[in-house]
Structure 1
């Protein structure tokens, strides 16, 4: 799409958390965010809503590592104004009509903020410079991995601390859905697997909404409950609240407001919600764990920008051969037989069968009987519309 620099007009929609803001963005709006190192998932969520521009109070690429988010936004023709400063949230009002031109943000005749308008050249330069920070990030990732292993060694090795749940997973396949990379494509590809195997479906926070959008129902929802809809929480799924190690569970407050806290289960653990979903499924005897939208590559670990992502690396080692990552299945496999081709194949088969039957005396007799029946049906049908002679009185 075009990335021509020009003046952009739109209605301001403000949200410090990108994943919350995208729920109320409309095409043509101007998204006002505070998101350092915009990751791929956040960028794709913004692109799906088609805003006219994105104003970022922070730096969209800080230099820690080469993140893909800014490139995705610009490639889709969305104006990206970077590093507008924290005062952006003080001066821009929700619903205000903004004009953005060459990195300057105005409301009417007043200048509210200034930033850097990103284009392919500036993004390429930022990505090149950020590659120098990869070595430091790898060292940090290794340290965090060791710290997590020591902190959660009982849970990782023996499953100690996993709560009791009502959902039965023993010797059953389990599908874990995270609203992450390519989750829509992977869910669509896994349709036959869901229909044939009826796995236990676990939605990780917003992943529960992804399951509902795909036409299925989650059996369990795991997470801190900050990015899952009320509709999903009220779907009847068992609720497992991811808590801090000290037992604090902010997600329980929201469930209490919805009168859903009484039957909820608390799972105190370090790491991410998708980690504890995998560990819980493994501990409860799942025969296979199919992961959709989860993080599995170094780029994805760094893309999240959180030290806790090292726990995902160790969790995957823990669940071992049970884990099947659905990411990329939709790109690897495509249905190559169209509906029209199937219809033509069926017609050709019927024609071949008809020819074979006509070659036999029994088949010829059958066709003569069918022909007579057809003539009778046509005669009866036409008689319904035939003009009857008038009868005298």
Structure 2
């Protein structure tokens, strides 16, 4: 007997959630299949903010995590995002969760327990604002260890990619004309929708080269733009966007393996591989810098130490070093949006209107046509007064 029958025979209870599950060990793949009201089953230790934002945007009814959403290594931001959005989060349910559930199964979540067909599937820890706050406080105490690991990863990456970072060795030739132009690099990360919306005046005026990093290319299309270049490992960009005519650069492993290249070739599209140990957003910046961009504007990328750690992988060391290399050209979208936010106070608007009226009055007073028109208006006004008071 499936759970829909169970829901009809039992009244709704506070704290009880029912729905169909969608499973995937990679959260960013899962969000593309989720529908509002479904329950996401993930395998994501130290859930980051970007993943949590995407789950909230998908309208999930709850999140079941086989791993701890806060391991204590560092204060990651994802669990707080889910809890603040009112989405139930049950943690540390175990790897067996993926063996015991199938795509589309109807489950019932009661507290920290998960049931399917009336049978207990797994038990974990139900997170709330208090448990997340305590876990974050504990994680901050161990932050120094993560900083040491981050520094070690940074030095290791510098040894591996010294020629790329210092001299641009390995950056492929591209057809897109970048020299002397602004480049807008879009990652589907923190606040990318709001930043793109505010940047519309900037994009209209400067017409920058539009570079989408994986799903960032979809973000550009959703905002009404066509990307000039798509960079990434091609695991989260849609087929339709890949066919939009943009130049495609596939991020490859340092040994030359590029799993995303096969997908692009299956679509019958040309692509250029770029082997590097950096992240996809980093190689997009390195391409823009090496090909002569005058300014690089970043949307949705990682900018602070907490954001670097929140990404939760050693590869973020490349992000730190890449920003050191391109720092003279790099501007975060939030800074540009502050410069281009269009607003006008009421007093300024009134002054503008009065100035326009004064200019019109002056023009009419000194021109023959204006004087004739004023004479007609004066005669009309006299006739109006005469009809009122006579």
Q: C-alpha deviations, 1:339-377, integer Å up to 9, x for none?
A: x999977765665556556656742422567999xxxxx
1:44-103, Cα deviation, whole Å (9 max, x unpaired): 111112211101111000011011111111111101011111111111121122111111
Residue segments in structure 2 that go unaligned for 5+ positions in a row: 1-12, 380-390
Q: Distance in 2 between matches of 1:300 and 1:149?
A: 20
Tell me which of 11, 18, 26 is aligned to 2:35.
Answer: 26
TM-score by length of structure 2 reads 0.87
Give deviations 1:277-316, integer Å, cap 9, x for gaps. Answer: 1111111111111111111210011001010100111111
Q: Please say if residues 202 and 340 of structure 2, whose CA atoms lie closer than 8 Å, have aligned partners that are also in contact.
A: no
User: Are 1:10 and 2:43 counterparts?
Assistant: no
Larger deviation: 69-78 or 342-351? 342-351
Aligned counterpart for 2:301 among listed residues 283, 294, 308: 294
TM-score (norm 1): 0.87
RMSD between aligned residues: 2.4
Aligned partner of 1:308 in structure 2 is 315
Tell me which moved more, 157-166 or 4-13.
4-13
CA drift of 1:321 comes to: 0.6
Pick from 226, 247, 255: which aligns with 1:238?
247
User: What's the CA shift for 1:155?
Assistant: 0.7
Over 3 Å counting, the alpha-carbon distance change for 1:351 and 1:333 in structure 2 is: closer
Distance change >3 Å, CA 370–CA 266, structure 1 → 2: farther
1:59 corresponds in structure 2 to 68
Q: Are residues 24 and 346 of structure 1, via their aligned partners in 2, closer, same or farther at CA, if it must alter by over 3 Å?
A: farther
The aligned counterpart of 1:212 is 221
User: Could you give the per-residue CA deviations for residues 10-30 of structure 1, whole angstroms, max 9, x where no partner exists?
Assistant: 121112111111112222111
Tell me the distance in 1 between the aligned counterparts of 2:287 and 2:48: 28
Match for residue 385 of structure 2? none
- Quick check: 2:364–2:370 contact (8 Å CA) kept in 1? yes
Q: Would you say how many aligned residue pairs link Structure 1 and Structure 2? A: 366
Q: Please state if 1:149 is matched with 2:158.
A: yes
Partner-residue secondary structure (3-state), 1:321: coil
Of the three residues 97, 104, 116, the one matched with 1:107 is: 116
Determine the structure 1 residue equivalent to 2:273: 266
Alignment pair present for 1:117 and 2:164: no
